[in-house]
Copies of this chain bind each other. A is one copy, B any other.
Amino acid sequence: MRAFSASLERLIEQFESLPGIGHKTAQRLAFYVLELPDEAARAFADAILDAKSAVRQCSVCFNLSDSMVCPICDSPERDTATICVVSDPRDVAALERTHEYHGRYHVLHGVISPMNHIGPDDLRIKELVARVAAGGISEVIMATDPNTEGEATAMYVSRLLRPFDVKITRLAYGVPVGGHLEYADEITLLRALDGRREF
C-alpha cells in the first residue's frame, strides 16, 4: 500500500529523476519542500519555469542568457578584441570567478567526439570563425577541457582560425595550485616542466 500521499510520492519521484539524487535524498528533499512556507515553494516552482522559458543562448557568444545579447557581450567594460573559447557555459562561470579575465567568450556547447557522433557542425564553430572573420579580434584563447577530446577540438578550431591575422593561445598546463606534487600524473608533470618559468 502506498505509504504517502500520491502528490508527495510524485514530488519524491521528481527529485529522484535528477542526476545523482537517490531515493533517500529525494525523500529528504521532498519533505523539506513540503515544510517550506507557501511562497518559498512557489518561488522554487517559478524558478524552474522561468529558467526554462527565459534562458536562451547569447546571439554573439552563445553563453546562456536571458536576453538576446548576454551581459558580458553587452558590457562596454569588456575587451572586445579577446575571445576565450570554452566548451560549456559552466566554464564561463569558472573563468569569471577568477575576476582576472576581461575579454569576451565563445561557448562551443560541446567538443568534437566521433564516439558520441558529435562533429564540428554540431558545435558553434562556424559562428566563432565568423566572429573572427568579421575582424577586430586580436587574440583567441583556447580553453577547452585539458583532455583528449578538448585538445582535439582546440586543435581543430585553431587550424580553422590560422588564415586570419589573430594570435591563438591556449591555457597553460601544469601542476594545479594547492595540490601535492606526488599525486600529479606524469603527463601533467611533463607539461609543467616544459612550461617552467624563471623565478
Q: How distant is the Cα of A10 from the Cα of B49 in the complex, in angstroms?
A: 11
Chain B CB within 8 A of A71 CB: yes
Interface residues in A74-103 (C-beta closer than 8 Å to B)? 75, 78, 89-90, 92-93, 95-97
**Which residue from B1, B13, B41 sits with its C-beta under 8 Å from A52?**
B41
Chain B residues in 8 Å Cβ range of A32: 18-19
Chain B residues in 8 Å Cβ range of A50: 7, 10-11
* A18-B32, A25-B20, A28-B19 as given contacts; A4 in contact with B48, CB under 8 Å: no
Q: How distant is the Cα of A97 from the Cα of B36 in the complex, in angstroms?
A: 27
Copies of this protein in the complex: 2
B19 touches A66 (CB 8 A): no
B47 touches A7 (CB 8 A): yes
Interface residues in A1-54 (C-beta closer than 8 Å to B)? 1-8, 10-11, 13-14, 18-21, 25, 27-34, 36, 38, 41-52, 54
Total count of chain A residues near the partner, CB < 8 A: 58
Determine the residue in chain B with the shortest Cβ distance to A6: B66
Chain B CB within 8 A of A171 CB: no
Could you tell me which A residues sit within 8 Å of B by CB distance? 1-8, 10-11, 13-14, 18-21, 25, 27-34, 36, 38, 41-52, 54-55, 63-67, 70-72, 75, 78, 89-90, 92-93, 95-97
